Structure 1
């Protein structure tokens, strides 16, 4: 079980922990047009999935921008940000930040991603900050569950894992 604190307080993280070498679990989330999206929509692509508690906070915003800047040009790769923010809020964040090509997906509806990847902070009903890199065949090659939710992930490790595919 993943151990995480948020603002120094322990939180219960539920769902299935994902490990390097696992086949990436499927999930169903919503895009900004309220359409269902699943892992299979990115079949054959390298995937960096950046998970944040809320796009509308400084660190989550920075994390989303940094991964899109640092990994957005990797051949045959997609950078996906998942949070429990409503799709409308995610679209507004993208518009306010002037980011046209970011893929932001919402897990607010049924926590499918969070349950399948072990990122649901039960007390807050938010996603625990984490990063997953998945190859074209849906094998997990990099996992980071950030132990303190207000700390950034290891950007370089995740981007290097994606670039090495």
Structure 2
């Protein structure tokens, strides 16, 4: 599968931008699940990986360790800042950027569907029987299988 070269942090920042704009609180757990659902949506629609980092099968569902590290200081509280690049800037995906329309659509699609759910509610969705997380957890695999993500039913 091909990989789109958008950093996961830019996808997170684009999700956070919507949350800040609509004044909807978003905890680190909720951000992880929205990121996962965006990744899944994009993969299903394009047969491309949104970014190269793989989701780990952690106890509360799929997690990108780099994103966990970025926002862990918020614990269960709402995130109040964007992820920063090495130079201190924050990247957000522009709908006018070449090749970004599919990503922007996936972010908007996932945001509209799940924005009012809590991190715990979203985690419960990832734990349903047959999900990629469920399969990885059951087989003690550290990472979610890409084909299992692609085949996952959308709930």
Q: TM-score, normalised by structure 1?
A: 0.29
Q: If each structure's strand is expressed as a fraction of its own residues, which one has the higher value?
A: 1
Q: If each structure's helix is expressed as a fraction of its own residues, which one has the higher value?
A: 2
Q: TM-score, normalised by structure 2?
A: 0.30
